[in-house]
Structure 1
């Protein structure tokens, strides 16, 4: 192991420490990607489990609207009552099919007491005034039956909104604006209104069942961490080989000087090339050119 003793020098140990630090960072980044994939898989499983299930009457899932669990998202339920259309709001900056517009929300008074916020769908912005929707459809009048999917309330964001609009579906903020009690744990994403109105907002798209590239990204980070050690080892091997070549060149130079052969005018590059040739001959990996050179030297030496 004396050939690699230089690895114990402060310089090489320092580079090894850099590789270790880089590998640790890559492991954390790879785990972060795996955690993101796990979250994506949980979201997909909720969609698969709940999105297309038969609807459940609101009375049976009332508590989930008040205190929803993550697994309750997309639960399908039916409710009867009427819209409180005078309290309609527009949620700003909502994306849909690559465009940004508004989400129309309004309270729905359920027969029996609770007031649940319903998102009726998405509205494009006006082509001449982007601060307004292109149209504002009216909800059905009187008592109707809704089929909705449960969505947990969104957190408060540090951003204001003009009068009649919301920065997010923060139901506590909505309740304060209305001055009346509403269910603040979750809202309903409208799937069907019966009877259907003449004009409706555009329904929001079904959630994508795509886990994303997180698994491949995590594997890439782990590979990057391993490549650091591979690079360090490869550099160590090159350094050891070059040191061996220098040693061979020095030995050959010493023999030439001992034999009285002048080495003046021979460049270091030529000496290294000769050292590499000698090394290949010793290792039994001589090329055709090496064999030919050795044959010529043998014939010249025999004269």
Structure 2
């Protein structure tokens, strides 16, 4: 037998050809392919677990018992991703004359603004509270009316949200900002002591005003867990298909190289009998039509 598995003078090779360099190369490729599929399958599983954990964290934080702001954010720059949506309570006075509007904030398909009102806490620092949404006005570059924040001392319960990143090309002037980027908000407030790690999405305030901006979030948002489990299984199937394909090609070549072997001839005849036994009337008719052409 030659190195590439070709038939020798005896007309039969058995399975010796499977140990040729060519077939060992095919096997190595199938193994590498299966390993790659395994890594991709594991990656999809990890992503599914991450999405599930993120949803569980949001649900837990969204309905958490409110704790003091200074307990959650001990410094002005404190914040971690695990604190998002956690409820905090803080008492202070709204700085109504320093209120800001966030541009380009659509809600339920309508354009509008979100209202940011600084809340001055007992230590003199400012905690930014997103009090809700108002629609654009007749001039489109400003709302017609913004409900006033409560005057005097107020107790605010809000959900923590991270400072937003800058969006290239989006800017604003006057009492407006392009995004809730707290470093920019701090500049708008003349460098006052502002919490720059996180702001609060209003949940409730006491005393409550007669009118207020529309709340933007009333139920916990959920992250779509996607089709990670389906993709994970698909990658496993792809790995198996690689081995099944290799096995099919191996058997096919075995039958071809050993076609003169009496034992293989008998097996081939038996396979042909079983194939013919499974033929339907339609198969027979097709063969007759092909024969007359």
TM over 0.5: yes
Answer with 69-78 or 208-217: which moved more: 208-217
Taking only aligned residues, the RMSD between alpha carbons, in angstroms, comes to 3.8
Taking a change above 3 Å as real, the CA distance of residues 146 and 16 of structure 1, as seen in their structure-2 partners, is same
3-state DSSP of counterpart to 1:192: strand
Q: Which residue matches 1:221?
A: 235
SS in 2 for 1:79: strand
- Residue-by-residue CA offset, 1:175-210 (whole Å, 9 max, x unaligned): 123222201111111101222223322223322345
> CA separation of 1:175/1:282 partners in 2, compared to 1, >3 Å: closer, same or farther?
closer
1:207 aligns with 2:207: no
Corresponding residue of 1:241: 255
Report the Cα distance in structure 2 between the residues aligned to 1:176 and 1:7, rounded to whole angstroms: 73
Cα distance change of structure 1 residues 157 and 232 upon mapping to structure 2, 3 Å threshold: farther
Distance 1:142 1:153 in 2: 27
RCO higher in structure (CA 8 A, sep ≥6): 2
Question: Does the CA-based 8 Å contact 2:103-2:172 persist in structure 1?
Answer: no
Which residue number in structure 1 is paired with residue 246 of structure 2? 232
**In the alignment, does 2:154 pair up with 1:144?**
yes
Q: TM-score, normalised by structure 1?
A: 0.68
Partner of 2:66: 55
Aligned length: 262
1:279 corresponds to which residue? 268
Aligned equivalents of 1:234, 1:92: Cα separation in 2: 63
Once residues 234 and 183 of structure 1 are traced to their aligned partners in structure 2, the CA distance between those partners, rounded to angstroms, is 66
- Aligned in 2, Cα 1:234/1:174: closer, same or farther, shift over 3 Å? farther
Structure 1 contact 105–120 (Cα < 8 Å) conserved:
yes
Question: Which residues of structure 1 form unaligned runs of 5+?
Answer: 253-274, 290-303
Whose helix proportion is higher, 1 or 2? Answer: 1
In the alignment, the residues of structure 2 paired with residue 191 and residue 24 of structure 1 have an alpha-carbon distance, to the nearest angstrom, of: 49
What is the rounded CA distance, in whole Å, between the counterparts of 1:39 and 1:93 in structure 2?
Answer: 31
Shift of residue 47, structure 1, vs aligned partner: 2.6
Instruction: Flag the 1:288–1:58 CA change in 2: closer, same or farther, 3 A.
Output: closer
Instruction: State which structure, 1 or 2, has the greater radius of gyration over its C-alpha atoms.
Output: 1
2:284 corresponds in structure 1 to: none
